Amino acid sequence: MEREDMLLYIKKKLTPKRYVHSIGVEYTAANMAFIHGEDVQRARIAGLLHDCAKCIPVDEKLKKAEKFGLPVSESERANPDLLHGKLGAYYAEMKCGVKDEGILSAITYHTTGKPGMDLLEKIIFVADYIEPNRKMIRDLPEIRREAFLDLDKCIRHILHNTLEYLNEKDTVIDSLTQETYDFYLKEAADDQH
């Protein structure tokens, strides 16, 4: 599918705010690709489509994931909104014809991250958090600078703040979110020695 058709596709599936957010992630990911040496078109496609399943009602997210045979973890069952990455990758492939496994993986893991992310996965994880239409959240100006200057530090910072926020909210924390944070903390500590 060409970009124009992807735009039409997500416009149909998303609220106006979520549509604007998706375009923000597209161009933020493109700029991060320039700086960090990722393929710009891959970053744009992943950014544009990452939330394409976000606006499906919660109970339908779970039903659709089961219908499509996608694996559903305990925390996803408790909080089916977490499934929008996995479902989004499914639609990106089935509805938009994306075959690039790296793009599909970046969409799948954009909410939780995962240990040992490749460059495209890191870019989408970060671009989602820092895109210009995001409402101001704690440390955002600093996190935006880190996104271009020190990508792994940026990832640690985002996960630190997200986990703190989720702990305050007293909600289910996906084990992948915690594992990702632990992985990047350990990697940074190992790099010191």
| Distance, CA of 168 to CA of 160 (rounded, Å) | 12
Minimal distance, residue 143 CB to ligand DGI, in Å: 13
Residues lying near ligand DGI in the complex (CB under 6 A) are found at: 21, 51, 54, 79, 82, 110-112, 128, 162, 166, 171-174, 177
What, of ligand DGI, Fe ion, none, does residue 171 touch, CB below 5 to 8 Å by kind?
Answer: ligand DGI
d(CA 44, CA 161): 26
Asked if 51 interacts with Fe ion (CB under 5 A), we say yes
Dist. CA 143–CA 111, nearest whole Å: 17
Task: Establish if 128 lies at the interface with Fe ion (CB under 5 A).
Answer: yes
Rank residues 128 and 146 by Cβ distance to Fe ion and give the closer one: 128
Q: What is the 3-state secondary structure (H, E, C) of 4-38?
A: HHHHHHHHHHCCHHHHHHHHHHHHHHHHHHHHHCC
Q: What is the C-alpha end-to-end distance of the chain, expressed in Å?
A: 47
Contact of residue 156 among ligand DGI, Fe ion, none (CB under 5-8 Å per partner type): none
CB under 5 to 8 A by kind: which of Fe ion, ligand DGI, none does 22 bind? none
Which of helix, strand or coil describes residue 186? helix
Q: How far is the CB of 158 from ligand DGI (least distance, A)?
A: 9
| Interaction site with Fe ion (CB under 5 A) | 51, 128
